[in-house]
Amino acid sequence: MRAAASATPGASPPFVESLPDNVQVPGGRAVSDEPLSDEPRHPIQVVVRRTGVSQDLLRAWEKRYAAVVPGRTPGSHRLYSDADIHRLGLIREALDGGRRIGQVAGLANDELAALVDDDRREAFATARPPLPRAAAAASPPEDLRVRHVAACLAAIRELDAPRLEAALDEARLALSLPHLLEGVIGPLLEEIGEAWRRGELRPYHEHMASAALRSFLGGMRGTFLAASNAPLLLVALPAGQHHELSALMAALAGAAEGWRVTYLGPDLPADDIAAAVRQAGARALALGIVFPPDDPELPAQLERLRRGVGPELPLLVFGGSAPAYVAAVDAVGAETVTGVGPLRNALGRLRRPLPSLPIR
């Protein structure tokens, strides 16, 4: 039974005509007139990669809400069709618009597409990607954020990766992006560090948590669609810097502020970062400095980087150890930002208003 995925066969969702040519519709489907296949042929790993919905959350949507009804192999493994993936992408984007799963899971695809169309029209009219609206205006109760952090930390202590992924997904659905990053992810990273220093967590706990958070943050960044004329932000960690989670949060913050974002990764020499800035034509660079707070080589790296990118490029330095290098940062005309909120404010300030995309 596939009633939940009902839609006019082969019909493109109504929001397609309002999007630029290089934009893909939710679920990874490029704009096309070809009909979506109902043949179950994709394993769950493919669905997770294409939609950004974790396996645990996907199973919960199926069990509680019958959001999609996958096929099964002879060995009872789930198989999903192109139509299923497209529908899950629509649901995911509808949730990003501030709705709850119970409100959208029973809608037909054309109804889902109409909701997404409204969100995208609003987003492109302001040249910014849609942010969850439900809790955007007011901060959620402190105890709610504390409960989400505690649930994640409990899963880490138990070395239960699926439980951690589910806890992160629950937090994502309950909170707006700023409150998720600043109220849950940031404090969670601090709690992990403190527990590690107290000897309550072993290195393998931290590695498991880092892997889950890396996947979670990377998947979230893929849900933001920057306008094709949006400015480009590069995010990188200089040589000797290996802790990526803060950089991934910075990349997500940039995407949420409407930037096209390219994440270069950790441990890059200053000359390589500068070359990437020049080749890509980046309009700003966010540089992460997480640990250690006393690298004697870092000031020279910053000087070399500034010479390589020129005096005009905005350079934002973030991360837990960034304040320890404030004199070196100031010396090269860069800006130290502490926390996701100040980083988003700085990126919003740097990003010039862009003309609205036409809506047909």
The pLDDT of residue 50 is 82
Structure tokens at 355: 């003309």
Do 251 and 340 reside in the same domain of the chain? yes
Decide if pLDDT at 57 tops 90: no
Domain boundary among 159, 187, 221: 221
The pLDDT of residue 188 is 93
State how far the Cα of 316 lies from the Cα of 343, in Å rounded to an integer: 8
Q: Which residue type sits at 201?
A: L
Stretch (H or E) spanning 92: helix 82-96
Do 48 and 94 reside in the same domain of the chain? yes
Structure tokens at 232: 């480009």
Range of the structural domain that residue 183 is part of? 142-221
Does residue 359 fall inside a structural domain? Answer: no
- The predicted-structure confidence for 149-176, as pLDDT tens digits, reads as follows 999 999 999 999 999 999 998 888 788 7
Do 114 and 160 reside in the same domain of the chain? no
Mean pLDDT of 55-79: 88
- The DSSP result for 265-319, as a single string, is EEEE-HHHHHHHHHHHT-SEEEEE--S-S--TTHHHHHHHHHHHH-SSS-EEEES
Does residue 226 fall inside a structural domain? Answer: no
Do 243 and 216 reside in the same domain of the chain? no
Nearby residues of 240 by Cβ (< 8 Å), 6 or more positions away: 267, 295, 297, 298
Do 179 and 107 reside in the same domain of the chain? no
Do 240 and 204 reside in the same domain of the chain? no
Q: Domain containing 23 — which CATH number?
A: 1.10.1660.10
**Domain count of the chain?**
3
Per-residue pLDDT band at 333 (split at 50, 70, 90):
very high
Decide if pLDDT at 318 tops 90: yes
Asked if residue 347 lies in contact with residue 254, where contact means CB atoms within 8 angstroms, the answer is yes
Stretch (H or E) spanning 24: strand 24-25
Asked if residue 241 lies in contact with residue 325, where contact means CB atoms within 8 angstroms, the answer is no
Does residue 236 fall inside a structural domain? Answer: yes
Nearest alpha-carbon partner for 86 in 50, 120, 60, 117: 50
Percent share of the chain, pLDDT over 90: 39
Does residue 356 fall inside a structural domain? Answer: no
For residue 109, the SS3 value is helix
For residue 71, the SS3 value is strand
How distant is the alpha carbon of residue 221 from its chain centre?
2
Q: What's the CA angle centered on 95, arms 132 and 222, to 5 degrees?
A: 80
Does residue 132 fall inside a structural domain? Answer: no
The pLDDT of residue 21 is 38
Structure tokens at 26: 């939710």
Structure tokens at 86: 């497209």
Do 249 and 182 reside in the same domain of the chain? no
Do 48 and 121 reside in the same domain of the chain? yes
Does residue 156 fall inside a structural domain? Answer: yes
Does residue 22 fall inside a structural domain? Answer: yes
The pLDDT of residue 224 is 67
Q: Note the residue count of the chain.
A: 360
Domain boundary among 125, 155, 187: 125
State how far the Cα of 270 lies from the Cα of 267, in Å rounded to an integer: 9
What backbone torsions phi and psi does residue 148 show, to the nearest 5 degrees?
-65, -40
Do 11 and 64 reside in the same domain of the chain? yes
Q: pTM of the prediction?
A: 0.60
Q: Which residue type sits at 294?
A: D
User: 228 vs 13, 251, 261, CA distance in Å?
Assistant: 21, 17, 12
Structure tokens at 106: 């029973």
- The DSSP result for 129-186, as a single string, is -----TTTSSPPPHHHHHHHHHHHHHHHHTT-HHHHHHHHHHHHHHS-HHHHIIIIIH
Asked if residue 108 lies in contact with residue 6, where contact means CB atoms within 8 angstroms, the answer is yes
Omega into 74 within 30° of 0, i.e. cis? no
- The predicted-structure confidence for 189-230, as pLDDT tens digits, reads as follows 889 888 888 899 998 998 999 899 988 888 777 666 667 788
Per-residue pLDDT band at 140 (split at 50, 70, 90):
low
Do 262 and 340 reside in the same domain of the chain? yes
Does residue 49 fall inside a structural domain? Answer: yes
Q: Domain containing 288 — which CATH number?
A: 3.40.50.280
State how far the Cα of 278 lies from the Cα of 310, in Å rounded to an integer: 10
Do 280 and 246 reside in the same domain of the chain? yes
The pLDDT of residue 284 is 97
Do 175 and 265 reside in the same domain of the chain? no
Residue scoring higher pLDDT (109 or 27): 109
| Distance from the first to the final alpha carbon of the chain | 36
Q: Domain containing 165 — which CATH number?
A: 1.10.1240.10
Per-residue pLDDT band at 3 (split at 50, 70, 90):
very low
Domain boundary among 91, 125, 159: 125
